């Protein structure tokens, strides 16, 4: 009997060699297509074509192999065939509206705008990855008044200037209505931070100010707020005439902060809860939710699996030199590695 197993194993090894040879051949063919698409500046990812490939195989072999197995095995083959490229390539020249419709979208950038060189170096790397949404804090809602509060007006100016240079859109937080008025035209997506989610007066002011142009707003969940309070906060903005609100989960406070290194507790199941109970886009911020750079990948993976429409990730060319939130900040190289693994 052992002899027989040995024989079968030899046969399996032979077939495995053939499979790998065929995978290499397949990759060569698909690389040819990808190159042409890159030259023509059209998106590499074509969901209709991928669906056709799976359906054709499932129909042809349905009585010999389970459709579920085809889907899994070929899902991985299709993913690895484009792993060297991004789903984002080809997003140049798209409007903000189109970029936000191309889910999952990625917002990335430093916790805080520090100086011209810092924001420019990270923006350049991010735009090379095809990322069009540049975040950066200028008015920082720091827990301690002794901490660096951001470059304020100068921070917004640097952010806008850099975004224009690299054809990106600005995502930044305002903490009061004076900033909102003064810098309205320089910020493309207005962020309302976790600490301000419960400021109903400010929510109304932002809703009113954006009611004409319906500028997108990212509302971050208060870290001690229930889902219902979060949804009601979004309603304050919507009721003033701007339905263009995105809900951002960024971790909540719990007992885990007592004896673990987690800065907050990633509120992952809330993605499912919000997607079921609200028509709004839901995005996840793995950086603040965990406070740890090495957790950004696994938590982002879970968030996308659970249906998040986008991710907001803190990124800096030298994470360890970041003036704020350095322990949760990743480099553009790390972001590239993560996105290649995550974005199918």
Applying CB under 6 A, the residues found at the interface with ligand PEP are: 111, 137, 141, 173, 193-195, 220, 250, 288
CA distance 237 to 200: 9
Q: Is 287 exposed, middle or buried (0-12, 13-18, 19+ CB in 10 A)?
A: buried
Instruction: Find which of Mn ion, ligand PEP, none residue 141 binds, CB within 5 to 8 Å per kind.
Output: ligand PEP
By beta-carbon distance, which residue lies closest to Mn ion?
Answer: 111
CB of 67 or CB of 254, closer to ligand PEP: 254
Phi, psi (degrees; rounded to nearest 5) at 4: -65, -45
CB of 137 or CB of 266, closer to ligand PEP: 137
CB of 215 or CB of 220, closer to ligand PEP: 220
CB of 188 or CB of 325, closer to Mn ion: 325
Instruction: Find which of ligand PEP, Mn ion, none residue 82 binds, CB within 5 to 8 Å per kind.
Output: none
Q: Is 156 exposed, middle or buried (0-12, 13-18, 19+ CB in 10 A)?
A: buried
CB of 34 or CB of 289, closer to ligand PEP: 289
**Closest CB 325 distance from Mn ion, rounded Å:** 4
Are 296 and 286 in contact by the 8 Å Cβ rule? The answer is: yes
By beta-carbon distance, which residue lies closest to ligand PEP?
Answer: 193
Told to check if 113 binds Mn ion by CB under 5 A, we report no
DSSP 315: B
**Closest CB 151 distance from ligand PEP, rounded Å:** 13
CB of 67 or CB of 177, closer to ligand PEP: 177
Q: Is 97 exposed, middle or buried (0-12, 13-18, 19+ CB in 10 A)?
A: exposed
DSSP 222: P
Site for Mn ion in 12-71 (CB under 5 A): none
The residue among 238, 194, 233 whose CA lies nearest residue 216 is 238
CB of 44 or CB of 126, closer to ligand PEP: 126
**Closest CB 70 distance from Mn ion, rounded Å:** 43
Sole binder of Mn ion in the list 325, 330, 332, 335 (CB under 5 A): 325
Instruction: Find which of ligand PEP, Mn ion, none residue 194 binds, CB within 5 to 8 Å per kind.
Output: ligand PEP
**Closest CB 156 distance from Mn ion, rounded Å:** 16
**Closest CB 314 distance from Mn ion, rounded Å:** 6
Any alpha helices (H) in the chain, and if so which ranges?
Answer: 2-39, 47-60, 67-81, 96-101, 116-128, 153-165, 177-182, 200-209, 227-239, 256-259, 269-277, 286-290, 296-305, 332-342
**Closest CB 137 distance from ligand PEP, rounded Å:** 4
**Closest CB 180 distance from Mn ion, rounded Å:** 20
Alpha-carbon dihedral sign for residues 35, 32, 13, 76:
positive
Residues contacting 93, CB < 8 A, separation 6+: 167
DSSP codes of every residue in 29-42: HHHHHHHHHHHTT-
Sole binder of Mn ion in the list 111, 246, 280, 339 (CB under 5 A): 111
Summarize as ranges the residues that interact with Mn ion (CB under 5 A): 111, 325
């Amino acid at each position: 009997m052992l002899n027989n197993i040995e024989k079968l194993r030899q046969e399996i090894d032979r077939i495995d060699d053939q499979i790998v040879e065929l995978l290499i051949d397949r990759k060569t063919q698909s690389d040819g297509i990808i190159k042409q698409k890159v030259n023509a500046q059209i998106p590499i990812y074509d969901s209709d074509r991928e669906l056709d490939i799976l359906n054709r195989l499932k129909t042809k072999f349905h009585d010999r192999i389970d459709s579920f197995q085809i889907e899994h095995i070929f899902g991985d083959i299709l993913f690895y065939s484009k792993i060297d490229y991004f789903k984002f390539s080809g997003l140049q020249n798209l409007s903000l509206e189109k970029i936000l419709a191309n889910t999952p979208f990625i917002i990335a950038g430093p916790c805080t705008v520090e100086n011209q060189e810092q924001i420019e170096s990270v923006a350049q790397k991010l735009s090379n990855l095809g990322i069009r949404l540049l975040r950066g804090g200028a008015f920082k809602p720091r827990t301690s008044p002794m901490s660096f509060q951001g470059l304020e007006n100068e921070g917004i100016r640097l952010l806008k200037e850099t975004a224009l240079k690299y054809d990106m859109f600005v995502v930044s937080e305002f903490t009061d209505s004076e900033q909102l008025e003064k810098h309205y035209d320089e910020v493309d997506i207005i962020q309302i931070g976790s600490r301000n989610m419960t400021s109903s007066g400010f929510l109304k002011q932002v809703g009113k100010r954006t009611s004409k142009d319906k500028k997108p707003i990212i509302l971050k969940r208060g870290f001690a707020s229930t889902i219902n309070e979060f949804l009601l906060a979004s309603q304050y903005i919507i009721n003033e005439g701007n339905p263009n609100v995105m809900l951002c989960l960024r971790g909540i406070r719990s007992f885990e902060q007592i004896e673990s290194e987690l800065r907050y507790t990633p509120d992952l199941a809330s993605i499912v809860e919000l997607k079921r109970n609200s028509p709004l886009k839901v995005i996840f911020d793995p950086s603040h939710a965990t406070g740890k750079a090495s957790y950004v990948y696994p938590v982002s993976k879970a968030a996308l699996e659970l249906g998040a429409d986008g991710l907001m990730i803190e990124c800096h060319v030298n994470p360890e030199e970041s003036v704020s939130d350095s322990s949760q900040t990743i480099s553009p190289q790390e972001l590239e590695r993560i996105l290649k693994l995550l974005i199918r």
